[in-house]
A and B are shown apart, each in its own frame.
Chain A
Amino acid sequence: MDSHEICAATRARLAPQVRFQLDPVTRKSVLLYPEGILELNETAADILACCDGRTFAEIVEALGEQYDVDCRTLLSDVRQALADLRQRKLVELT
């Protein structure tokens, strides 16, 4: 699924082999998966915290309450982040 195929009803979940947790050393969020560790910036971590089966619309709404950015920027950033995570097989979009 490319970024332009993500619509309001698209649901996002962590891929089954992926764990999302706090790194006790850095206190930052990380994704752990076979042979891999991805350190997340704050925005990516907030997006991933919403990837629990929620729809794209619900994720954007939740983040809109946390971030003081205009709606267009938020939509585009979240869409791009989800598409990237999907391409790395870290998130499943259905």
Chain B
Amino acid sequence: MNAPRPYALLAELTYRCPLHCPYCSNPTHAPNARELTTDEWKRVIAGAAALGVLQIGFSGGEPLVRRDLAELIRNAREAGLYTNLITSGIGLNRDRVHALREAGLDSVQLSFQSDESDLADRIAGARAHREKLEASAHVRAAGIALSLNFVLHRQNIDRLPQMIALAEELGAQRVELANAQFYGWAFVNRAALLPTRQQIDRALQVAAEAKARLASRIDIFYVLPDYYQTQPKPCLNGWGQRYLTVNPVGDVLPCPTAAWAIPDLHFENVRTRPLEWIWRESESFNQFRGTDWMPEPCRSCPRREVDFGGCRCQAALLTGNAANTDPVCELSPDRARVEVVLREINSSSNGEPQWLYRTNPQPLSIQISN
């Protein structure tokens, strides 16, 4: 199959993070292997640039825990890539910001858990909010583009107006108000995180109003939780079409959650195969590329090249088979599986389920059953 050209690489430098957010999409059982070295990452960057990648996101976990972050940013800039740092802001003091700016960092996406510290720190499972505010000021002062990323869920979505006000106050140029998507830890904690329909309706209105009011100053992106939609999201703009992810141990993934959500698919590793071969030739990238793999109702659907059958990880998680239509789709024979979850969340008997905080990778991790 002819492989298209990838445009963006997500470089997950580490799964380590000082925060413990229960909506984290990182795997609940991190692979037990050592992180890629600086030189291994440089080979990944060179390989990605050779494939045509123009954008790199340094992510994790918390990428700032890697001492070689500035070196890797410099390397990516020299390869002609636009460099984004996706961070909690913990450890982003003035000196670090300047070192990253010197290395050529173009943009920072800073996560916030809420607009005020009590709730934010409770969600993060760490005292973090105040340091994030300071980090945002350092980023602005250094003249680096600032995006704020808020992950919305049942415990914070009612504060959406205040979160937008915080973004205005901090001088963000771009704000993502993205409802939690249910992979990794978020999937485990879904009952505590998925908002009610009433919350979703209200938030949609708030976001639309803010988008109109702030149009000339801030780009606002609001992402619904797809369980409440009737057509699936065009996940990744299609499997293996534009994006690739390299995880901390070097597995190359069509999407960051694929190795966790689709354990029966074998993903290749940059330690044993060239990146170009993996992108073009590997079974994992070709498995769901294009439309030939599609079952009905996707195969004959006029939207098959609009939403690409939705999300493979979600199909795997909710139906047990990654090759099924995303069950969010109203045409999916498995839509009832989503409806059951929504009924549960919107029934008054749902109560207040507790969440599990994300834990850092350990050599022996605890089994969590869903």
Contact = CB atoms under 8 A, between A and B. Distances in A.
A52 interface: no
Given A17-B145, A37-B54, A24 B219 contact: no
B45 to A, nearest CB: 14
A43 to B, nearest CB: 21
A2 B5 CA distance: 36
Given A19-B106, A25-B5, A34 B54 contact: no
Contacts of A25: 5, 52
B274 interface: no
A35 B82 CA distance: 9
Interface residues of A, number: 14
Contacts of B147: 34-35
B20 to A, nearest CB: 26
A19 B147 CA distance: 16
B107 A89 contact: no
Interface string B105-148: 01101000000000000000000000000000000000111010
Nearest to B79: A24
Nearest to B173: A17
A21 B49 CA distance: 14
B55 interface: yes
B143 A34 contact: no
A30 interface: yes
Binding site of A, secondary structure by majority: helix, strand, loop or mixed? loop
Contacts of A17: 106-107, 144-145, 173
A54 B56 CA distance: 31
Interface in B132-175: 143-145, 147, 173-174
Interface residues of B, number: 19
Contacts of B174: 34-35
A32 B145 contact: no
Interface in A21-65: 21, 23-25, 30, 32-35, 37
Contacts of B84: 34-35
Given A30-B54, A32-B54, A34-B84, A16 B143 contact: yes
Nearest to A36: B55
A33 B82 contact: yes
Contacts of A89: 173, 219
A19 B219 contact: no
A19 B145 contact: no
A17 B109 CA distance: 12
A19 B52 contact: no
A24 B80 contact: yes
Contacts of B7: 37
Most-contacted residue by chain B among A24, A33, A35 (CB, 10 A): A35
A33 B109 CA distance: 12
Interface in B42-85: 49, 52, 54-55, 80, 82, 84
Given A34-B174, A37-B54, A89-B219, A21 B145 contact: no
A35 B107 CA distance: 10
A40 to B, nearest CB: 13
A6 to B, nearest CB: 15
Shortest 10 CB-CB distances between A and B: which pairs? Answer: A17-B145, A32-B82, A34-B107, A25-B52, A34-B145, A37-B54, A34-B147, A34-B174, A17-B107, A19-B82
7 contacts: A16-B145, A17-B107, A19-B82, A24-B49, A32-B55, A34-B109, A35-B84
Given A34-B173, A37-B7, 12 more contacts: A17-B107, A19-B82, A25-B5, A25-B52, A33-B82, A33-B107, A34-B106, A34-B107, A34-B147, A37-B55, A89-B173, A89-B219
Interface of B: 5, 7, 49, 52, 54-55, 80, 82, 84, 106-107, 109, 143-145, 147, 173-174, 219
